[in-house]
């Protein structure tokens, strides 16, 4: 649970807590052979607020006013405060590294490891710190902050490059063009790029027939190897400026985390992608973009927790939805994504799609395979919330089905649905009939086939007189009638 703390954050004084460099802390693990990773259960919630701080977190609900008794997600200073508390708790222990929610315990053998782990767990028990099911105990190798740690030493996390290594073979000129866009964006780090991609560039010439032969396959494999090599990738640093660029296609989402180097260039740290589930494929395009941003931040949380970073999207309308717009004025799915993002500290910015080449290419060639348990849980949580919105509409199931059928038969509603799926153009390029809907383009969404504006049903023209007649029943007057309408139904003018 998160609260709308944006106004509070404007006056909260941030703590100045400088984390030690990741490589510096991991270098302490010389000769370590046994590892345990502990993950705090909703870490912020385990820190009690002082009585004088609690009223500052007050929020209003239909059931009354409430305030947090424990540190909520969404407070600007929460990550630094939590990190400082964790480090203070563990500062006297040997063989322990702490990064945000994650604690790594290591030893040169099982006996030393177990002794250290026992001491840490005793401290957690004393402080009342709970752990979750993500903990990993007594492993010979473990992934920690983007590194694979083992008795052999510290290596790059192989998962950082899976999205690149498993890129499928291009099937069209457009696929090759997207791949070339990603390669050209990173060309400064690949001196031999022009020579390597020559067979692929031949496929882009109009006079050439599409033939994928051995030269193209060799070039494709070499290009993937270079994109995931140390020549291009950089090691993660918790002190470098950080960006996360995310994008969504009709069938996948992708993202890349980049960091600024000493020469002012931006290098990728890790690439990620996945396909959309059947339910997610039916989201409006702006909901897919919001999902891409949310999934990327949660997937990369081990890098991002406690950092101030920049989120990059090519969907201009998404910027206010995930930053300045009030939580009570968001479409249901967007609201759930916004709440999940409150535990991160970021600034979201828009750039043209032509400059978001890497995330775009990854979203259009996502990793194959079934969705993970975490992805399915995210989908379930979002849909449970959306279902609750529909269940509270003042309409029977029969009535909702009638409205759904009327929407499907109405040409104007079908066109709005199509714009939601593909994205809205500039207002000047719209047909005159749709211009009354353009102003509210960020709010339209589909829920179980029902076209809605936020939490309100969109009423087709042929049903408006009937619906308004029902709203007038009870003779409550114009003002109360309009108030009732604004709670549950929408059409231009209401």
Of 312, 320, 313, 317, the closest CA to residue 284 belongs to 317
pLDDT tens, position by position, 389-435: 888 888 888 989 999 999 999 999 999 999 988 888 888 888 888 88
Is the torsion defined by CA of 20, 22, 24, 26 positive or negative?
Answer: positive
Give the count of domains, the chain: 4
C-alpha atoms less than 13 angstroms from C-alpha of 456 in its C-beta half-sphere: 20
Give pLDDT, residue 39.
87
DSSP-H helix ranges across 91-128: 110-127
| Tokens 């211009």 found at | 435
Same domain for 195 and 117: no
In-domain check, residue 475: yes
The tokens describing 389, both together, are: 């919105």
User: Do residues 118 and 129 lie in contact, with contact meaning Cβ atoms separated by under 8 Å?
Assistant: no
pLDDT band at 26 (very low <50, low <70, confident <90, very high): confident
Sheet containing 96-99: order of strands: 96-99, 102-107, 34-39, 136-139
CA 494/CA 489 separation, integer angstroms? 8
pLDDT tens, position by position, 186-242: 887 877 888 888 999 889 888 888 889 999 999 999 999 888 887 788 888 888 999
Same domain for 403 and 351: no
Of 491, 439, 445, 440, the closest CA to residue 468 belongs to 491
Q: What are phi and psi of 154, to 5 degrees?
A: -110, 125
**Beta carbons within 8 Å of 99's beta carbon, 6+ residues apart:** 19, 22, 25, 144, 145, 238, 302
pLDDT at residue 121 tops 90: yes
The tokens describing 456, both together, are: 């309100």
pLDDT tens, position by position, 456-488: 899 998 888 887 677 666 545 555 655 666 678
Give the end of a domain, one of 102, 124, 156.
Answer: 156
The DSSP code sequence of 281-312 is HTS-HHHHHHHHHHHHHHHTHHHHTT-EEEEE
Same domain for 329 and 248: yes
CB atoms within 10 A of CB 278: 8
pLDDT band at 279 (very low <50, low <70, confident <90, very high): very high
> What CATH number is given to the structural domain containing 276?
3.30.420.10
Same domain for 209 and 277: no
pLDDT at residue 314 tops 90: yes
In-domain check, residue 236: no
**Beta carbons within 8 Å of 2's beta carbon, 6+ residues apart:** 72, 73, 74, 339, 340, 342, 343
In-domain check, residue 388: no
In-domain check, residue 147: yes
Helix axes 397-409, 411-422, angle to 10 degrees: 90
Same domain for 434 and 364: no
Same domain for 309 and 253: yes
Same domain for 346 and 253: yes
More confident residue, 3 or 246: 246
Provide, rounded to the nearest whole percent, the portion of the chain with pLDDT above 90.
Answer: 41
Is the torsion defined by CA of 332, 337, 338, 342 positive or negative?
Answer: positive
Specify the pTM: 0.82
The tokens describing 468, both together, are: 């308004």
The C-alpha angle with vertex 168 and arms to 165 and 169, in degrees rounded to 5, equals 115
Same domain for 451 and 417: yes
Proportion of the chain in helix, strand, coil states, percent, rounded to 5: 45, 20, 35
Sheet containing 147-150: order of strands: 141-144, 147-150, 153-156
For the chain, helix (H) and strand (E) counts, in that order, are 21, 18
Average pLDDT over residues 318-334: 90
3-state secondary structure of 248: strand
| Tokens 């529909």 found at | 390
Same domain for 373 and 298: yes
Same domain for 411 and 336: no
Helix axes 285-299, 411-422, angle to 10 degrees: 30
Give pLDDT, residue 33.
93
Give pLDDT, residue 302.
82
Query: Domain range holding 451?
Result: 393-490
In-domain check, residue 80: yes
Q: What is the mean pLDDT of the chain?
A: 86
Give the end of a domain, one of 228, 251, 280.
Answer: 228
CA 93/CA 111 separation, integer angstroms? 16
In-domain check, residue 18: yes
> What CATH number is given to the structural domain containing 77?
3.30.70.270
Same domain for 203 and 146: no
Give the end of a domain, one of 128, 156, 184.
Answer: 156
Same domain for 134 and 45: yes
In-domain check, residue 386: no
Tell me which H or E stretch contains 130: none
In-domain check, residue 234: no
């Amino acid at each position: 649970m998160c609260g709308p703390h944006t106004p509070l954050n404007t006056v909260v004084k941030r703590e100045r807590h400088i984390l030690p460099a990741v490589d510096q802390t991991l270098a302490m693990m010389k000769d370590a052979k046994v590892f345990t990773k502990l993950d705090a259960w909703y870490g912020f919630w385990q820190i009690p607020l002082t009585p004088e701080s609690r009223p500052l977190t007050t929020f209003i609900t239909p059931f009354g006013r409430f305030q947090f008794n424990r540190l909520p997600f969404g407070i600007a200073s929460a990550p630094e405060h939590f990190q400082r508390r964790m480090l203070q708790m563990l500062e006297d222990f040997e063989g322990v590294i702490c990064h945000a929610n994650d604690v790594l315990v290591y030893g040169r053998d099982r006996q030393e490891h177990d002794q250290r782990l026992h001491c840490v767990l005793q401290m957690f028990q004393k402080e009342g710190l709970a752990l979750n099911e993500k903990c990993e105990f007594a492993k010979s190798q473990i992934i920690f902050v983007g590194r694979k740690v083992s008795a052999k030493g510290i290596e790059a996390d192989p998962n950082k490059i899976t999205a690149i290594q498993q890129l499928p073979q291009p099937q069209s000129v457009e696929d090759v063009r997207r791949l070339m866009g990603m390669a050209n964006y990173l060309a400064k780090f690949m001196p031999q790029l022009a020579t390597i991609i020559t067979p692929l560039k031949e496929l882009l010439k109009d006079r050439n027939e599409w033939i994928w032969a051995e030269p193209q396959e060799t070039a494709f494999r070499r290009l993937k190897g270079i994109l995931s090599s140390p020549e291009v990738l950089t090691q993660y640093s918790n002190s470098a400026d950080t960006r996360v660029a995310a994008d969504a296609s009709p069938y996948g989402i992708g993202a890349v985390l980049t960091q600024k180097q000493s020469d002012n260039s931006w290098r990728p740290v890790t690439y990620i992608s996945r396909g959309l589930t059947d339910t997610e494929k039916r989201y409006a395009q702006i909901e897919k973009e919001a999902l891409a941003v949310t999934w990327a931040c949660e997937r990369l949380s081990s890098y991002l927790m406690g950092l101030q970073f920049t989120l990059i999207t090519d969907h201009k309308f998404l910027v206010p939805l995930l930053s300045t717009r009030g939580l009570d004025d968001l479409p249901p799915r967007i609201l759930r994504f916004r709440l999940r993002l409150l535990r991160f500290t970021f600034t979201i910015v828009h750039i043209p799609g032509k400059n978001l080449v890497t995330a775009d290419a990854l979203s259009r060639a996502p990793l194959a395979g079934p969705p993970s348990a975490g992805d399915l849980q995210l989908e379930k949580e979002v849909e449970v919330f959306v279902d609750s919105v529909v269940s509270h509409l003042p309409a029977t199931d029969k009535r909702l089905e009638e409205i759904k059928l009327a929407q499907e038969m109405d040409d104007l509603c079908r066109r709005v649905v199509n714009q939601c799926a593909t994205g809205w153009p500039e207002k000047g390029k719209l047909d005159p009939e749709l211009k009354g809907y353009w102003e509210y383009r960020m709010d339209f969404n589909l829920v179980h086939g029902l076209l809605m504006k936020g939490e309100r049903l969109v009423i087709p023209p042929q049903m408006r007189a009937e619906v308004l007649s029902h709203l007038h029943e009870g003779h409550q007057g114009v003002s109360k009638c309009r108030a009732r309408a604004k709670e549950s139904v929408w059409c231009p003018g209401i």
